[in-house]
């Protein structure tokens, strides 16, 4: 194929323009956050008689963390006679025995606690929640995944918002128990901070739709029922239910000043499986609910934001296309004069790349005002990891587009905040293995060649701008392959200092 064909260049510009569009949306989120973040919600009134809350704990093979979860629930600052604790266990290993012992321990402390064990995992997490809700005594349902450790005052800070009968769900902001464990957890924390602090706050306080994050939130039971209940046809049942409920007129509140800590995946395979599930699920929800959103009688700005949100993961397909278009463009981009640089290249670069940096710096400055600059060295790695994840996540997008069904794959968690670093490597819990790391490694070597060739030809700026590509692909591929070694060794970043979070 003739690499000098203008078709390559126009395809390259078209893909970059699409990525720039998603980058422009990030800047819109930053603008909405800066404009509306000070509009802190207030409860309509304070309950004189606290409502009954059912705490739902969906569990599947979580033997390393379930005791920690139950102990933290027992420390909640809320009257015992106003709590019901449901352990919704679908486990197939010793987790079930640990859950049963934990429930008996809670019962001995005077809690209304029960374990609901399913042998048939129909619907996975959504099915477990649907089944548990049938036996829930409380109108308010506080959902916590097994790797979360709620602060004792979380219910006192949240339930009073339900004094407004139009409120259907309250979401708290995730914290990170092991933020400084290794380089991967630091980058993940930055990713999540951007989503939770900026996106959720901006959407909620500007009057747009936002979604339940699957855990660390409280639902009104009648809201779930009115929206049609938990459904099993997507991998992100939380996002699906959220849009259906808001289309019914229910209001949600995001409390960015109420933090609920959780454990981040410490290995690349676990992170990939989590991101694959979230990415695929979001596209499934996009196909399912986007037509209903555009038919709904809601303002245009709500429809546009929901569209940007639900289609955002298509950016991974664009990124993969870009990987195939970069080299032909480097070899024989047509010369259309100086206007190309100033009217095309610079604006596209700004919206596609600089916007990402602005987005994550804004999030860190908001959450860590006295030490946000300490996260700056990790920004290049964040960009590189986003590129490196494009193979796995693009695969998830394609699977969703073509309705390829896969099981709900849990993300292994190891309770690493309480154990020595080496312990988790010996765990029987492993993420699913795929051929994705091999493809990533091929991309890594290809882009290493592209970068070296650009540098040798004196195109230093191009070499620097393309450097995140080989770095990202080498990082994601080798980190996964290292777990396959008989020694169980992990990448060097897992030996990073476990410093105390600033």
Q: What's the CA gap between 126 and 430, in Å, rounded?
A: 23
Pairing of strands 217-220, 167-176: antiparallel
The count of other CB atoms within 10 Å of the CB of residue 68 is: 20
Rounded to 5 degrees, φ, ψ at 75 are -95, 5
Rounded to 5 degrees, φ, ψ at 168 are -105, -25
Q: What's the CA gap between 160 and 154, in Å, rounded?
A: 11
The count of other CB atoms within 10 Å of the CB of residue 404 is: 11
Q: What's the CA gap between 325 and 489, in Å, rounded?
A: 36
Token code pair at residue 79: 């009257």
Q: What's the CA gap between 6 and 148, in Å, rounded?
A: 52
Q: What's the CA gap between 221 and 346, in Å, rounded?
A: 50
Active-site residue, 77 included? no
Q: What's the CA gap between 32 and 55, in Å, rounded?
A: 33
Active-site residue, 335 included? no
Rounded to 5 degrees, φ, ψ at 400 are -70, -40
Catalytic position from the list 67, 89, 90, 145: 90
CB 209 within 8 A of CB 256: no
CB 51 within 8 A of CB 82: yes
CA 126, 128, 134 angle in degrees (round to 5)? 105
Closest C-alpha to 133, from 62, 61, 66, 219: 219
Catalytic position from the list 238, 267, 269, 493: 238
Enumerate the active-site residues: 90, 238
């Amino acid at each position: 194929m003739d690499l000098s064909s203008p078709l390559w260049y126009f395809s390259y510009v078209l893909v970059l323009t699409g990525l720039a569009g998603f980058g422009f949306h990030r800047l819109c989120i930053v603008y909405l956050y800066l404009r509306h973040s000070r509009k802190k919600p207030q409860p309509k009134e304070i309950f004189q008689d606290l409502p009954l809350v059912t705490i739902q704990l969906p569990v599947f093979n979580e033997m390393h963390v379930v005791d920690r979860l139950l102990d933290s629930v027992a420390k909640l600052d809320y009257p015992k006679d106003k709590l019901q604790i449901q352990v919704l266990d679908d486990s197939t290993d010793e987790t079930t025995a640990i859950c049963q012992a934990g429930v008996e321990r809670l019962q001995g402390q005077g809690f209304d606690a029960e374990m609901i064990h399913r042998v048939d995992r129909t619907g996975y997490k959504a099915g477990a929640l649907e089944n548990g809700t049938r036996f829930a005594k409380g109108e308010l349902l506080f959902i916590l995944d097994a790797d979360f450790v709620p602060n004792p005052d979380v219910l006192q800070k949240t339930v009073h918002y339900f004094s407004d009968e139009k409120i259907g769900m309250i979401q708290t902001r995730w914290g990170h128990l092991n933020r400084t464990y290794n380089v991967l957890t630091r980058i993940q924390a930055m990713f999540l901070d951007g989503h939770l602090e900026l996106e959720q706050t901006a959407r909620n306080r500007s009057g747009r739709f936002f979604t339940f994050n699957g855990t660390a939130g409280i639902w009104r039971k009648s809201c779930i029922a009115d929206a049609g209940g938990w459904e099993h046809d997507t991998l992100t049942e939380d996002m699906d239910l959220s849009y259906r409920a808001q289309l019914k007129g229910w209001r949600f509140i995001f409390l960015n000043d109420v933090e609920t800590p959780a454990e981040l995946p410490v290995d690349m395979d676990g992170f990939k499986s989590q991101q694959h599930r979230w990415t695929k699920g979001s596209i499934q929800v996009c196909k399912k609910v986007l037509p209903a959103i555009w038919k709904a009688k809601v303002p245009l700005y709500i429809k546009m934001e929901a569209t940007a949100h639900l289609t955002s993961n298509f950016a991974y397909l664009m990124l993969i296309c870009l990987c195939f278009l970069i080299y032909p463009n480097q070899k024989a981009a047509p010369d259309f004069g100086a206007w190309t640089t100033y009217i095309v290249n610079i604006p596209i670069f700004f919206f596609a790349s600089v916007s990402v940096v602005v987005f994550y710096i804004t999030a860190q400055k908001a959450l860590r005002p006295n030490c946000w600059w300490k996260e700056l060295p990790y920004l290049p790695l964040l960009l590189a990891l986003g590129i490196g994840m494009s193979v796995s996540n693009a695969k998830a997008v394609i699977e969703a587009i073509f309705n390829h069904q896969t099981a709900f794959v849990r993300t292994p968690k190891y309770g690493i905040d309480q154990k020595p670093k080496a312990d988790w490597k010996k765990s029987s819990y492993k993420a699913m293995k795929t051929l994705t790391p091999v493809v990533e490694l091929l991309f890594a070597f290809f882009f290493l060649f592209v970068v070296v060739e650009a540098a040798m030809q004196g195109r230093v700026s191009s070499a620097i701008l393309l450097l995140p590509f080989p770095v990202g692909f080498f990082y994601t591929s080798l980190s996964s392959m290292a777990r396959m070694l008989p020694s169980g060794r992990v990448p060097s970043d897992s030996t990073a200092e476990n410093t105390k979070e600033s």
